[in-house]
Structure 1
Amino acid sequence: MFGEYGLMFGAKALAIPFPKFAGYFAWIDANSPSDYQKNSAAELERFASWFATEEIASKMNFPLDLERLNADLKKGLYFESDVPLQYGVGSSGALCAALYDQYSSFSATAGFSPEFNPDLIPKLREDFITLESYFHGRSSGLDPLVAFLNRPVLVEDGKISLPELELHKQPWSVYLIDTEITSPTSPLVKLFIEKMEVDEFKDIFHQSYVPANDGATLAFMQNDADFFFSHLKELHDIQSEHLCEMIPDSCLEFIRELKSRGILVKLLGSGGGGFLLAFVPAGAVFPEKEKSFRIF
């Protein structure tokens, strides 16, 4: 929801589960396997090979049972998911969460019993950072953590908490705009890190971007509409000017049209395509041109 890119450099981050999309493990249809099933199984096999070759188990607090995973892969295991790939909504996070739930020693021993210790959450995040590095090279670990806990997660000053949000009471609506463009995360993360090496951008980031992000995050959690849209406008303007490479050209006119109606759009995840987030204040409506894009 908030904190894309900024999380790597000290900004607040808030992530929230999105129940529209889900994933689960299943078995390949031995008689007529689909291309999706075969591709998913192949990806899991590559993951298992990486896990073994890089000795990932030694880097985890609650390692995966690689022997059991490989045995299931031989039986035809694959990951059935409707989470769009390279869309900024956590497709790799969903897979990492499912692997952890099914094969980690945490799920096998600790689980979410009434005695579950919240102090374990940082250790879970450490494991998800390790697992998701297979997909992104560098990961915050938030997407798989949110998928695994199925709870909103806030990162502030490097510490994780599970805030209680009253989303149904918010005086605005939130929509996903489908750009219909897939966009891998790693190249855009690399681009952002390169931008942070330029003093002018680095100053804008720390002096303007982080305060706008953190203010919007706080106001979102407090359901404070005036405070929220004030900071969100700053965030929108900075992303439009200084992270324009992450916003598809095909969406620019629509985004400007929305802004003229008080509807503000921001990146979701790394950008470049996938979904964009649109925040609609009370009383505002989407223009007719929304028919050009799928809206969720």
Structure 2
Amino acid sequence: MKGPLFYSKILLFGEYGIIKDSKGLSIPYNFFNGALKTDGLETDVAIRSNANLKKYVAYLKNINPELVTFDMEALETDVNAGMYFDSSIPQGYGVGSSGALVAAIYDQYAHHKITVLENLTREKLLVLKTIFSEMESFFHGKSSGLDPLNSYLSIPILINSKDNIEAAGIPSQKSDGKGAVFLLDSGMTGETAPMVQIFMENMKQEGFRRMIKNQFIKHTDACVDDFLRGDFKSLFLNTKKLSKVALNHFKPMIPQQFHELWKKGLETNDYYLKLCGSGGGGYILGFTEDIEKAKLSLKDHKLEVVYNF
């Protein structure tokens, strides 16, 4: 048995801000994917994944049945038979590894599931987000539910606020476009929970709260609007502002060896870097008006182009 594929995701804009009701924009990233399998493979990865699934099954038993119920008998039978999540999605990289697993479990075992084939009203999206938030909290302590939502539906999601999300149409890619969004591999994994903890601690200071509201959220919202409108000139101006705020106020989330690289982008305008997910490692997201120039400027690093315009 091999279940359907669920893809990774990239939160283009909204990291940390969406905790405080900024806008956000999340897109599927088909380069990585995962699927549930029961092919009796005894690899280390399969054994580890299966052991995790056993713990996860115990957690799912305690989810509010008014929210969602699962075919527990089938799930337990499959997990006991060695089912695991076969995934190419790197863990701790901010591209939604646990989200894809949650989406796969919901798709396979949830009763009365909401499917991508029906008319996805805002209400249905919110119900799904709430379910996924509960399901994914097992992995992160507290989850917004957005990663699994993106993975499950495989469509761009626009977050207007916590209680207002919708499927979004994004400008179509230009395969020959010089402008690009890219991923930069930091070469180390990041843990979501401690990074969010640092952010929450900082939020207790009035100065930091003010900066989040008047700068970080303002620039994030502007970037989302620019991107959806296809106004890339304005997008780069706002992304630069966002990149600067991150360097000044989110230093713990940026791996030490990237501080200079971050600054270099702001000084040369060859590229602008921003956090991809919670940071602390994993991928860093880059924006450039000229991908060849950015590649030259970052020649010691591996760039993965996500989107051309």
Normalising by structure 2, what TM-score?
Answer: 0.88
Structure 1 residues 283 and 251: CA distance shift in structure 2, 3 A: closer
- Kindly tell me: are residues 171 and 163 of structure 1, through their superposed partners in 2, closer, same or farther at Cα, counting changes over 3 Å? farther
CA distance in 2: counterparts of 1:113 and 1:88, whole angstroms: 28
Q: Establish whether residue 23 from structure 1 lines up as the match of residue 34 from structure 2.
A: yes
Which residue number corresponds to residue 238 of structure 2? 231
The answer as to 2:304 corresponding to 1:293 is no
Matched AA of 1:277: L
- Distance (whole Å) between structure 2 residues aligned to residue 200 and residue 72 of structure 1: 51
- Superposed displacement of residue 250, structure 1: 1.5
Matched residue, 1:82: 88
Alpha-carbon distance in structure 1 between the residues aligned to 2:197 and 2:34: 28
Amino acid in structure 2 at the alignment position of 1:154: L
Determine the structure 2 residue equivalent to 1:46: 55
2-side partners of 1:181 and 1:212: how far apart? 28
Q: Once the two structures are superposed, what CA deviation does each residue of 1:238-292 show, in whole Å capped at 9, x if it has no partner? A: 1001001000012223223333143101000000000011111147612546343
Query: Residue type matched to 1:164 in 2?
Result: G
1:36 maps to 2:41: no
Residues 1:249 and 1:116: Cα distance change in structure 2 (over 3 Å): closer
1:112 equivalent among 112, 116, 119: 116
Conservation of the 8 A alpha-carbon contact between 2:23 and 2:160: yes
Measured after TM superposition, the shift of residue 9 of structure 1 is 0.7
Q: Does 1:6 align with 2:17?
A: yes
* 1:258 aligns to 2:265 (yes or no): yes
> 8 Å contact 2:274–2:284 — kept in the other structure?
yes
Q: In the alignment, what sits opposite 1:139?
A: 143
Equivalent pair of 1:263/1:284 in contact (CA under 8 Å): no
User: Counterpart in 2 of 1:269?
Assistant: 277
Q: Is the 8 A contact 2:93 2:189 kept in 1?
A: yes
Deviation string for 1:24-51 (max 9, x for gaps)? 0112535xx1100000001111111122
Query: Does the 8 A contact of 2:14 with 2:25 survive in 1?
Result: yes
Indicate the structure with greater helix content: 1
Q: Which residues of 2 match residues 52-71 of structure 1 at below 5 A?
A: 52=61, 55-58=62-65, 60=67, 62-71=68-77
RMSD: 1.8
Q: Is the 8 A contact 2:122 2:164 kept in 1?
A: no
Q: Rate the CA distance shift 1:253–1:26 in 2: closer, same or farther, 3 A.
A: same
What is the distance in 1 between the residues matched to 2:263 and 2:204? 30
1:124-162 alpha-carbon deviations (Å, 9 max, x no partner)? 000000011101111111110000000000111330111
- Report how far residue 198 of structure 1 moved: 0.5
What does residue 225 of structure 2 align with? 218
Once the two structures are TM-superposed, the CA of residue 237 in structure 1 deviates from its matched residue by: 0.6
Q: Which of 162, 165, 168 is the matching residue for 1:163? A: 168
Q: How many residues align?
A: 289
Distance 1:237 1:67, change over 3 A: same
Q: TM-score, normalised by structure 1?
A: 0.92
Question: Counterpart of 1:106 in 2: which secondary structure?
Answer: coil
Given the alignment of the two structures, is residue 202 of structure 1 paired with residue 209 of structure 2, yes or no? yes
Q: Do 2:178 and 2:291's aligned partners in 1 also have CA atoms closer than 8 Å?
A: no
Distance 2:119 2:240 in 1: 43
Whole-angstrom CA distance in 2 between matches of 1:70 and 1:104: 13
- What residue ranges of structure 2 are gaps of 5+ in the alignment? 1-11, 305-309
Gaps of 5+ in 1: none
Matched with 1:172 is 179
2:154 corresponds in structure 1 to 150
Percent of paired sites with the same residue: 32
User: Could you report, residue by residue, the CA deviation over 1:168-204 in whole angstroms, capped at 9, with x for unpaired residues?
Assistant: 1477201100001111101111110111111010011
**Are 1:171 and 1:223, in contact at CA under 8 Å, matched by a contact in 2?**
no
Displacement after TM superposition at 1:118 (Å): 5.2
SS at match of 1:167: coil
